[in-house]
Amino acid sequence: GENVEQHPSTLSVQEGDSAVIKCTYSDSASNYFPWYKQELGKRPQLIIDIRSNVGEKKDQRIAVTLNKTAKHFSLHITETQPEDSAVYFCAASKGGADGLTFGKGTHLIIQP
């Protein structure tokens, strides 16, 4: 089955700096890669996703890049703000009925 590795497990950055979280996946058939943000005690919420037919997608301060050959994808957050502090999960799926396989999460801490 699919295996998703996520690094780092904890990331501390100064407010206003950029943050980058990286994930790798093992199943070349995976074609959908969402990123979820989960605040303490709350539900995971989708912040951005990318499909395998594109290499990059951007939404304001958030961007995701995908390298299908190397089987890795990354989340980039620019101009970080205190409200960006949360746990971020990457995930991969082959689509349709296939469930999401999640990474173990990155605890992002924004230092004021």
Partner 1 sequence: GAGVSQSPRYKVAKRGQDVALRCDPISGHVSLFWYQQALGQGPEFLTYFQNEAQLDKSGLPSDRFFAERPEGSVSTLKIQRTQQEDSAVYLCASSQLTGGTVNTEAFFGQGTRLTVV
Residues in contact with partner 1 by the rule CB under 8 A: 6, 31-32, 34, 36, 42-46, 49, 51, 89, 91, 93-105
Question: Minimal distance in Å, beta carbon 101 to partner 1?
Answer: 7
Question: Minimal distance in Å, beta carbon 17 to partner 1?
Answer: 25
> Which C-beta is closer to partner 1: that of 19 or that of 35?
35
Question: Minimal distance in Å, beta carbon 88 to partner 1?
Answer: 10
Cβ pair 90, 20 in contact under 8 A:
no
